């Protein structure tokens, strides 16, 4: 049985703006699942619907349901959802700028009952991110973007979640750093047995580390499958990986095919 | 020289009380973004409740003091729950107007129960002054500084080391991110109002013991504005330092300028400072504009 399943949800902002129109996905225990799609497709909204952060933005799940470990969670408050084991790493890092690195990590473990282990887990986070250890007393706002992203992931690790929702961890980072972050995401999945739902713009990397992928367009899933299948799918190749034939750069002459070939767009 | 020293000491005493009340003010502003115009009335209520317990119900002072703190916390909780929470998401100006209304309601309530007359605490601290070198300090002053410092220390440690305190600072920093950590933002707001009411009540009791109690004690709370503007609206160390500086300035103005102009400078100086500070350093000494990495 899957750890998380989103069944046919509809999300409305401010009572009028319909963002998700029958969105469904399944996240099996222990896997990495990635959710891809263009800007405005509703990826972040999907994550926020799961983590309960939608309510703080006047958003509402009006139809369908979300179940986590067999229990319906779409009516619960964000803090209950965090307590039940879902933790969202928000887009744009959102570290607490005026707190030190260590304090940020402590806040990450806010909902934990076993306060005695916090110290040990801070060391665990430092073993994943040695660079944070060097800066443990620094005010987080002055760190580089890459370090802030590491801190954001470290903060999530502190909560010991069963399911980690990651919203564009590669945003605004240099390619080498992106690679490093993705390797760490893979390690977290293997070593901490954390299930991961990964939203990304960098489709290539995301499909390479994930087991299963969903592709969203305007509020619902248009395509899904094992990542090996998706990587070989000609449409995915063209629209998400930027290749027309394997290994070949796309010529501007072929651009006119765009409308005709993107057939999952109605 | 002795005169100056004497002035500075009384300035520090009053300033430490300003600092305490300013702490509450800054806390609400930092955590919830609300400028609380009812802060001065929290002071009045604290002073009257403690006085009623001591003078009318004959409680021993220590017990009355603790009991007043409990009342203050309950009052803070109630106000947050009933008046402020339904306003979450409303425009900030409405919320500020609400706190102004709140201040009138509290003032009216105190008038209704205790009347408009001046009252004085029964003598609680020994009146034998203490001589430190050339300076004479009354015991109530020492107690006031001691209490104020104690509470300031407690809360500084609370924000630095306790997990609730760190969670409060995190919420002040980024509310939505705090929500995603599983922090209950509502609880944090409630806690901010409770702490603000508590420190103000302590301030009220101390001022009441020094100057007596009357309905215009709320104006003492108004002096907190220059203090927090000087220190920076969202800085806790700033509130403490701003409070002390304003207290000392006041005392010096009272000692040196008042005799020349025939009085009143003491009341004016803090607000003159306020205007100057707003002109040259609008974020105060320690206020953050925002850490922004370019």
Beta strands in A129-266 (DSSP E): 163-167, 195-199, 212-217, 220-226
CB contact under 8 A, B180 and A88: yes
Find the range with the poorest average confidence among A165-169, A249-253, B174-178.
A249-253
A15 lies in the same domain as A85: yes
A167 lies in the same domain as A246: no
Q: Is A186 part of any domain?
A: yes
Q: What percent of chain B has pLDDT over 90?
A: 49
Q: Is A144 part of any domain?
A: no
Nearest CA in chain A to B186: A79
A-B contacts at Cβ under 8 angstroms: 82
A258 lies in the same domain as A211: no
The answer to whether A103 contacts chain B (CB < 8 Å) is yes
Q: A14-63: per-residue pLDDT in tens? A: 888 999 999 999 999 999 999 998 888 999 999 999 999 998 888 999 99
A168 lies in the same domain as A262: no
User: Residue A203 corresponds to which tokens in the numbers above?
Assistant: 């489709």
Residues of B engaging A, defined by a Cβ cutoff of 8 Å: 163, 166-167, 169-170, 172-184, 288, 290-291, 293
For residue A27, give the CATH number of its domain.
3.40.50.300
Phi then psi for A100, rounded to 5 degrees? -80, 170
Q: Is A104 part of any domain?
A: no
A33 lies in the same domain as A64: yes
The answer to whether A119 contacts chain B (CB < 8 Å) is no
User: Residue A136 corresponds to which tokens in the numbers above?
Assistant: 């443990």
A44 lies in the same domain as A55: yes
A172 lies in the same domain as A220: yes
CB contact under 8 A, A90 and B170: no
What gap in Å lies between CA B145 and CA B231, rounded to an integer? 19
Inter-helix orientation angle B265-280/B224-231, to 10°: 30
What gap in Å lies between CA A192 and CA A174, rounded to an integer? 26
Quote the minimal CA–CA distance from B21 to chain A in Å: 23
CB contact under 8 A, A96 and B170: yes
pLDDT at site A249: 61
Which residues from chain B sit within 8 angstroms of residue A73, using beta carbons? none
CB contact under 8 A, B180 and A155: no
Stated length of chain A: 266
ipTM: 0.86
Confidence of residue B293 (pLDDT cuts 50, 70, 90): low
Find the range with the poorest average confidence among A250-264, B45-59, B232-246.
A250-264
Q: Is A189 part of any domain?
A: yes
Q: A238-263: per-residue pLDDT in tens? A: 777 766 555 556 566 655 554 545 55
CB contact under 8 A, B167 and A110: yes
- Identify any residues that bridge with A71 across adjacent strands, giving them in sequence order: A68
- Indicate the residue of B169, B177, B290 with minimum beta-carbon distance to A90: B177
CB contact under 8 A, B174 and A97: yes
Q: Is A210 part of any domain?
A: yes
Average pLDDT over every residue of A180-196 = 95
Task: Give the residue numbers spanning the domain of A244.
Answer: 233-266
pLDDT at site B133: 78
**What total number of domains does chain A contain?**
2
CB contact under 8 A, B182 and A83: yes
> Which residue, chain included where needed, has tokens 């619907």?
A49
DSSP conformation letters of B31-79: HH----TTHHHHHHHHHHHHHIIIIIS---HHHHHHHHHHHHHHHHHHH
More confident residue, B74 or A40: B74
Structural domains in chain B, sorted by start:
2-122+130-280 (1.10.3470)
**Is the Cα torsion angle A137, A141, A144, A147 positive or negative in sign?**
positive
The single-letter DSSP state of residue A139 is: B
Number of CB atoms found within 10 A of residue A118's CB: 16
A263 lies in the same domain as A165: no
Q: A65-112: per-residue pLDDT in tens? A: 999 999 999 999 999 999 999 999 999 999 999 899 999 999 999 999
- Indicate the residue of B167, B184, B290 with minimum beta-carbon distance to A107: B167
Is the pLDDT score of A266 beyond 50?
Answer: no
A225 lies in the same domain as A245: no
pLDDT at site A256: 52
Q: A204-224: per-residue pLDDT in tens? A: 899 999 999 999 988 989 999
> Which residue, chain included where needed, has tokens 């945003």?
A171
A266 lies in the same domain as A165: no
């Amino acid at each position: 049985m899957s750890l998380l399943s989103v069944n046919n949800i509809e999300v409305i902002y401010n009572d009028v703006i319909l963002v998700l129109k029958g969105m469904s996905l399944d996240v099996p225990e222990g896997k990495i699942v990635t959710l891809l799609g263009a800007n405005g497709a509703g990826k972040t909204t999907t994550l926020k619907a799961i983590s309960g952060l939608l309510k703080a933005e006047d958003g509402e799940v009006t139809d369908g349901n979300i179940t986590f470990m067999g229990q319906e969670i779409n009516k619960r408050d964000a803090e209950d959802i965090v307590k039940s084991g879902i933790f969202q790493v928000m887009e744009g890092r959102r570290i607490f700028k005026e707190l030190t690195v260590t304090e940020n990590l402590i806040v990450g473990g806010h909902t934990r009952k076993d306060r005695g282990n916090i110290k040990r887990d801070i060391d665990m986070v430092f073993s994943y991110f040695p660079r944070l250890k060097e800066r443990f007393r620094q005010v987080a706002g002055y760190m580089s973007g890459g370090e802030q992203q590491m801190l954001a992931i470290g903060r999530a690790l502190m909560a010991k979640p069963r399911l980690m929702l990651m919203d564009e961890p590669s945003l605004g980072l240099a390619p080498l750093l992106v690679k490093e972050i993705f390797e760490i995401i893979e390690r977290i999945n293997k070593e901490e047995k954390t299930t991961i739902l990964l939203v990304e713009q960098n489709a290539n990397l995301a499909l390479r580390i994930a087991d299963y992928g969903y592709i969203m367009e305007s509020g619902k899933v248009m395509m899904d499958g094992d990542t090996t299948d998706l990587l070989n799918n000609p449409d995915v190749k063209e629209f998400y990986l930027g290749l027309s034939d394997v290994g070949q750069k796309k010529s501007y002459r072929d651009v006119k095919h765009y409308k005709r070939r993107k057939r999952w767009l109605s | 020289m002795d005169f100056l020293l004497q002035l500075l000491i009384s300035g520090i005493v009053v300033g430490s009380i300003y600092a305490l009340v300013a702490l509450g003010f800054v806390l609400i502003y930092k955590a919830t973004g609300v400028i609380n115009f009812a802060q001065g009335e929290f002071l009045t209520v604290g002073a009257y409740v403690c006085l009623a317990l001591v003078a009318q119900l004959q409680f021993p002072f220590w017990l009355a003091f603790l009991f007043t703190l409990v009342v203050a916390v309950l009052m803070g909780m109630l106000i947050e729950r009933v008046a402020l929470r339904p306003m979450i998401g409303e425009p900030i100006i409405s919320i500020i107007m609400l706190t102004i209304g709140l201040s009138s309601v509290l003032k009216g309530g105190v008038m209704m129960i205790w009347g408009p007359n001046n009252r004085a605490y029964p003598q609680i601290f020994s009146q034998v002054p203490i001589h430190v070198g050339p300076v004479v300090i009354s015991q109530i002053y020492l107690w006031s500084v001691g209490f104020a410092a104690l509470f300031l220390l407690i809360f500084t440690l609370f924000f630095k080391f306790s997990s609730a305190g760190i969670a409060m600072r995190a919420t002040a920093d980024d509310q939505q991110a705090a929500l995603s950590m599983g922090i209950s933002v509502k609880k944090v707001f409630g806690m901010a109002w409770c702490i603000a009411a508590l420190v103000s009540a302590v301030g009220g009791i101390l001022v009441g013991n020094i100057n007596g109690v009357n309905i215009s004690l709320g104006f003492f709370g108004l002096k907190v504005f220059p203090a927090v503007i000087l220190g920076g609206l969202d800085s806790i160390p700033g509130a403490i330092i701003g409070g002390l500086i304003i207290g000392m300035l006041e005392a010096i103005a009272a000692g040196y300028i008042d005799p020349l102009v025939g009085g009143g400078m003491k009341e004016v100086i803090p607000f003159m400072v306020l205007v100057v500070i707003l002109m040259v350093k609008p974020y105060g000494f320690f206020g953050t504009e925002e850490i922004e990495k370019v």
